[in-house]
Structure 1
Amino acid sequence: MFADTWESVKSSGELKCGAAIASPYVMKNPRTNDYSGFFVEMCREFADHLGVEATYVDTNWDNIVAGVQSGRWDLAMALNETPERARAIAFSEPVSYYEVSFLYNKDNPKLPDSVSNLEDIDKADITIAVMSGTVQDKAVTGSLENANIMRLPGQDETRLAVMSRRADVLADANDTNLLFHHANPDWSVVMTPTPPLAPQGVAFGINQSVPEADIQELNEFIIEKRESGEVERMINEAAQIAVEQME
């Protein structure tokens, strides 16, 4: 199935990309169902490089790795290379970099005036919302002993949990939480732990049987986009779209 992967993609005429939502990496307009985000654009441009169309396949963070393994999609977008995932699939060069941060309501009486470390939120009366199956889920589970962890299926659910105060804190990617803060500056505050929590590259996930030459072609494409400044441009454009969608 995976021998000469890009040749097979060219024969089919489409590059299938697994899409689990996480702004600004992968976003979906609820009115038009159109995808955006800088990983979406990277997938589209790599499809152009191969001379095919990009197709986006809906999934979630609990199932995105399994879809790579089964061949439901050729690339999984915006994956962190955790030890568990690395045993199941291969990874490209990082497109961008990631760490976990925590967003909270500054008027929450259960939290100190200034949350500065994990100890401030690792309390039995604090509930932390996180997307199930994500890197931040595993990082929070491994780092906090006392707080309650509310695992929810998607980004909208975790944000609504904090906005409605069903949860006290939102654990998410640093740039994702920063975007949410920019859209809600009147009440939200972001705390990024020192040292960084779960610092990792964010890459494409690939089936382990994909030939090394095909992975190298993808890596060279990514490196060229990073070094040319194209990735930074994509990130800035995706950030603007994400903020507009939150307004």
Structure 2
Amino acid sequence: MYQVAARKMFKRTSAIAAIAIALGASGFAKAEEVEPLWANVKKAGVLRCGAAVAPPYVMRDPMTGNYSGFFADLCRDFGQNVLKVKVQFVDTTWDNIVAGLQANKWDMSVALNNTPERAKAIGFSSAASNYEVSFVYNKTNPKVGKKLVSIADIDKPGAVVAVMSGTSQDKAVSAVLKQAQIMRLPGIDETRMAVSSRRADFIADASDTNWIFSESHGDWAKTFVPNPALAKQEVAFGIRKNTSPDDVAMLNAYLKKKVSSGYVNALIKKAVQETLASGK
């Protein structure tokens, strides 16, 4: 009887030990997977910012390749004045801005909407600004009704809505437009050309971006903001999911300070003025 009990106790103890070892190994693996992002950036001496163009968030001079816009300015300020490293902008598209971050082609993605779909793949900082979708159209276009209030007023057979492929506004209009045709294009210049040439009837874009464009082309362009708001979201920096919690907290503290101090608002005004001055 004693030997049987002893054997049972030994098996139970061995099983518990095996579980403890497995749990310990699992915990160790998870600890190893955490990325000390800012330490790695400082070691490399450069903060790589993945950027896709969307004024006034991100703008790129086609002649010089220089980046501006209030999110680009925030990325530059954080890298140079907080991390004390050089800042490098990596040109990308909205279709690839999440995948490139996951593949470590850059350290942060600039000006991303914090959506549930993206949050499955990457992490986010706290918000630097807010976002909703609006529509720009040619006010002389006979296909556009005189009174626009809700999405239903543009979701008509024959209506064509241009949008940048892979963006949050692409996802937003894809979910609500059932009759209008969605024209997915690679970049902001292509969507604006589509409406200017009347190949499309509307541009679906961020409300700030569309407002600037319509102000620059007040002779024909007009902005429609749906009621209720479409896809109201926070705009933030995208980071990899395994970024150290301490590093995330550091970035969030920086952003909250810049927002509360009025620094971000000043950058937004500067970006808007620059965009209006360029006539884009």
Regarding TM over 0.5, the answer is yes
- How does 1:1-247 map onto structure 2 within 5 Å? 3-48=35-80, 49-246=82-279
Q: Return the offset for 1:111.
A: 1.1
Q: Judge conservation of contact 1:77–1:204 (CA < 8 Å) in 2.
A: yes
Higher relative contact order (CA 8 A, sep 6+): 1
CA distance in 2, matches of 1:4, 1:169: 44
How large is the RMSD of aligned CA atoms in angstroms? 1.0
CA distance in 2, matches of 1:203, 1:246: 26
CA distance in 2, matches of 1:198, 1:38: 21
Q: Return the offset for 1:90.
A: 0.1
**Which aligned segments of 4 or more residues in structure 1 are displaced greater than 4 angstroms?**
none
Q: Judge conservation of contact 1:117–1:191 (CA < 8 Å) in 2.
A: no
**How big is each residue's C-alpha offset from its partner over 1:3-56, in whole Å with a ceiling of 9 and x where there is no partner?**
211011001110000010000000001122111000000000100210001100
CA distance in 2, matches of 1:214, 1:63: 24
Q: Judge conservation of contact 2:150–2:228 (CA < 8 Å) in 1.
A: no
Structure 2: 5+ residue runs without aligned partners?
1-32
Q: Report the TM-score when normalising by structure 2.
A: 0.87
CA distance in 2, matches of 1:173, 1:124: 24
Residue 26 of structure 1 aligns with an amino acid whose one-letter code is: V
Find the structure with the greater CA-based Rg: 2
Q: Judge conservation of contact 1:67–1:73 (CA < 8 Å) in 2.
A: yes
Q: Return the offset for 1:113.
A: 1.8
**How big is each residue's C-alpha offset from its partner over 1:205-231, in whole Å with a ceiling of 9 and x where there is no partner?**
000011000000000000000000000
CA distance in 1, matches of 2:144, 2:52: 31
Query: Number of aligned pairs?
Result: 247
Structure 1: 5+ residue runs without aligned partners?
none
Q: Judge conservation of contact 1:104–1:169 (CA < 8 Å) in 2.
A: yes
CA distance in 2, matches of 1:108, 1:98: 27
CA distance in 1, matches of 2:147, 2:195: 17
Q: Return the offset for 1:119.
A: 1.5
Greater share of residues in helix: 2
Q: Report the TM-score when normalising by structure 1.
A: 0.98
CA distance in 1, matches of 2:45, 2:224: 45
CA distance in 1, matches of 2:189, 2:96: 18
Among all aligned residue pairs of Structure 1 and Structure 2, give the percentage whose two residues are the same amino acid: 51
